Amino acid sequence: MTAFLGPAIVTGTDTGVGKTIVTAAVAAAATSSGLRVAVVKPCQTGVASGDEPDADVVARLAAPASSVTLASYPDPLAPLTAARVAKLPAIDLGVVVDVVAGLVEQHDLVLVEGAGGVLVQLGAGGWTIADLAISLGAQAILVARPDLGTLNHTELTRRVLVAGGVEPLLVLGSWPASPDLVHRTNLRDLPALSGVLPTGAGSLPAEVFRTSARSWLSAELHGDWRADSLMALAL
């Protein structure tokens, strides 16, 4: 498979699995390869908490050519629910498609980070990141945990994407420095991996993050990581 270009969605098996840091890693790796990268967050929730928004995290760690959030809501809820609770307009799928299409004309790679899992309702009419991937004809990056329970969550998410004609690349969002038995067995039972980020990667200084990103990702994701050494741990 050749390296991702054009639009690509980043989704996950759940919330908190590392989508934002994986998005930043792919953006950093592609940028270091000389590509113009745009990052789009269609919906950001929980902005009232004062936490750094996802698009800002990516911009700080990866320094892509551009980074944009299209809609923001105060409460840490699924985006469509957060819009309803805040009595704010939910974003239309067509708006997101148009924005991404415009960015594709000016960039080599456009990464679109979803919220939560693949079937979380992001905007008006209940559209999901899976719907967006199909509408854009986008490639997909699926971020998963390495822990107990990931086999079922990963396969369910993968099947949703494949049913829509989207075959995702799988990246583990956090790999422990001292893997337990479950981590080592999951290496063999999960689909083939296209990248593994170490636990705590998002806490690295930006300069270190950018120079390290390629070592965490496969060639399809603009890196030089190979699964051989990690798979030596598999049971």
Give dist(CA 235, CA 229) in Å, integer: 13
Residue pair 19/168 in contact (Cβ under 8 Å)? The answer is no
Give dist(CA 210, CA 24) in Å, integer: 9
Q: What six digits make up the tokens of 155?
A: 């396969």
Q: What six digits make up the tokens of 172?
A: 């583990």
Give alpha helix (H) positions in 168-225: 181-189, 206-212
Give alpha helix (H) positions in 137-215: 150-163, 181-189, 206-212
Which one of the listed residues 4, 22, 41, 187 is annotated catalytic?
Answer: 41
Q: Active site includes 41?
A: yes
Residue pair 102/71 in contact (Cβ under 8 Å)? The answer is no
Q: What six digits make up the tokens of 153?
A: 């969550």
Nearest to 66 by CA among 97, 95, 90, 99: 99
Instruction: Name the residue type at position 233.
Output: L
Catalytic residues: 41
